[in-house]
Amino acid sequence: MHVTYLTHYAELYGANRSLLDLLVELRDRGEVVPHVLLPREGPMTDRLSELRIAHRVLPFQPWMSERRYEGRAHHRIGQWWRYHRAARARAQRNRALLPVLADQTKAWDTDIVHANSSVVGVAADLSSEVLRPLVWHIRELPERHYFLHLDEGRGGYGRALRNADRLIAISEAVKADILHYTRPVRPIAVIYNGVLHRARYGELRRMAPARWSSTVPFIFAMVGLIHPSKGQLQAVDALAEVCRSGIDARMVIAGEGRDDALRQRITELGLEDRVELAGFVTDPYAVFEYAHALLMCSRNEAMGRVTVEAMAAGLPVIGHASGGTPELITDRTTGMLYTDGTGELAECMRLLATDPDQARKLGEQASLAAEERFSIEHYADEVLKVYHEVLSERRP
């Protein structure tokens, strides 16, 4: 079958990496001929070219945006009006672009349109225009996690989701969030992202013991977009508490984004020699190789691909007990969960740093659990099942 995928950005963060894993696996099996539409050039288009996957850049717009208000009432009114006009302009650009999107989708002889994010609102109109079923892969809690504003309002967002032929949620937390907006006509498929092929899990387990030969300093890692919702500020606050208690600990934060406040906090706390800002990394395992634990401080994380990647590498994960994170980590068995803020996070960090044998055991159990639940093979099987169900329903 021919599937046209729409993704909302061109970087190689979690959503696009999960998309690449899926379409390459399905292509290599001979099940799917993949095609990709995306709004701009970037590392994603480079990778698609390397993989010889057909793609086209067309500048469609998101139907969600961040809105930040400040100042007095009259300032906020003006800001609201500018945001409103920008949303209308995005919608107009998408309407103008729809014929081109439709022509390309038809030229690829598409059987299914697959939207890779809740942010890709144009996918609903495209599906209707080309009369092809829409599989909508919801990977975010858009309001609760990223604080995004829904241009069409909650009602419009809910109607669009309800009209999709099938919804895929990457966790039970995402499914619950969808049900906050709508009750779909058809069941929501909960399919966790596959992160690695089964054979790769074994390779990483054989490499894992090397990191435990030296645990001083004890190194905590964070990998992903730098954003207020991701908890990097809380992590460096907790590291400061750990260091004040006399423990030799370090932190590496790999990622790009809104880092001005983070850099300022590191300076204020005097942690310049203890926190490394590594920038964007194409291979998170290069970080995991020398780290001893991962911090997942994100509130309302939909699933957290990097959590599973760290588990696969044999790292214990300390995660905030919200969103989809508790679905991935079993507290004190494959990692640790915290709920009450910086003090509790710091205590979890102290426990691992002062007991590296326990940290190692948690990491070993995490790797086995990740292989069982989050293989690319299982992920592709489940998505392919959805495709077949959707096409079967559409046939006379």
pLDDT one-digit tens code per residue, 110-151 = 999 999 999 999 999 999 999 999 999 999 999 988 899 999
The helix (H) or strand (E) run that includes residue 279 is strand 275-279
Q: How far is CA 253 from CA 56, 232, 245, 257, 266, in A?
A: 33, 8, 22, 11, 12
Please tell me what DSSP assigns to residue 222.
E
Q: Are residues 297 and 186 in the same domain?
A: no
Q: In percent, how much of the chain has pLDDT > 90?
A: 92
Q: Is 15 exposed, middle or buried (0-12, 13-18, 19+ CB in 10 A)?
A: buried
* Residue range(s) defining the domain that contains residue 310: 198-373
Q: Are residues 317 and 293 in the same domain?
A: yes
Q: Are residues 52 and 177 in the same domain?
A: yes
Number of domains in the chain: 2
Q: Are residues 29 and 150 in the same domain?
A: yes
User: 């949303």: which residue's tokens?
Assistant: 87
- 3-state SS class at 10: coil
Q: Are residues 219 and 154 in the same domain?
A: no
Dihedral sign, Cα of residue 152, residue 158, residue 164, residue 166? positive
The two beta strands, 335-338 and 134-138, are unpaired
Q: 139 with 15: CB under 8 angstroms?
A: yes
Following CA atoms 170, 173, 174, 176 in sequence, which dihedral angle do they give, to the nearest 10 degrees? 140
281: left (phi over 0), alpha (psi -120 to 50) or beta: beta
Q: Are residues 13 and 86 in the same domain?
A: yes
Q: Are residues 77 and 222 in the same domain?
A: no
Q: Are residues 249 and 361 in the same domain?
A: yes
Q: Are residues 119 and 233 in the same domain?
A: no
Query: What pLDDT shows up at residue 395?
Result: 61
User: What is the chain's length?
Assistant: 396
Report which of 326, 337, 265 is spatially closest to residue 301, judged by C-alpha positions.
326
User: What is the pTM (predicted TM-score) of this model?
Assistant: 0.91
The helix (H) or strand (E) run that includes residue 310 is helix 305-312
Residue-wise pLDDT tens for the chain (396 aa)? 999 999 999 999 889 999 999 999 999 999 999 999 999 999 999 999 999 999 999 999 999 999 989 999 989 999 999 999 999 999 999 999 999 999 999 999 999 999 999 999 999 999 999 999 999 999 999 998 889 999 999 999 999 999 999 999 999 999 999 999 999 888 999 999 999 999 999 999 999 999 999 999 999 999 999 999 899 999 999 999 999 999 999 999 999 999 999 999 999 999 999 999 999 998 999 999 999 999 999 988 999 999 999 999 999 999 999 999 999 999 999 999 999 889 999 999 999 999 999 999 999 999 999 999 999 999 999 999 999 999 999 764
Q: Are residues 163 and 94 in the same domain?
A: yes
User: 């990977």: which residue's tokens?
Assistant: 139
Q: Are residues 63 and 178 in the same domain?
A: yes
- 3-state SS class at 301: coil
Query: Residue 382 maps to which CATH number?
Result: 3.40.50.2000
Q: Are residues 188 and 300 in the same domain?
A: no
**φ and ψ of 266, to 5 deg:** -60, -40
- 3-state SS class at 189: strand
Query: What pLDDT shows up at residue 146?
Result: 85
Please tell me what DSSP assigns to residue 37.
E
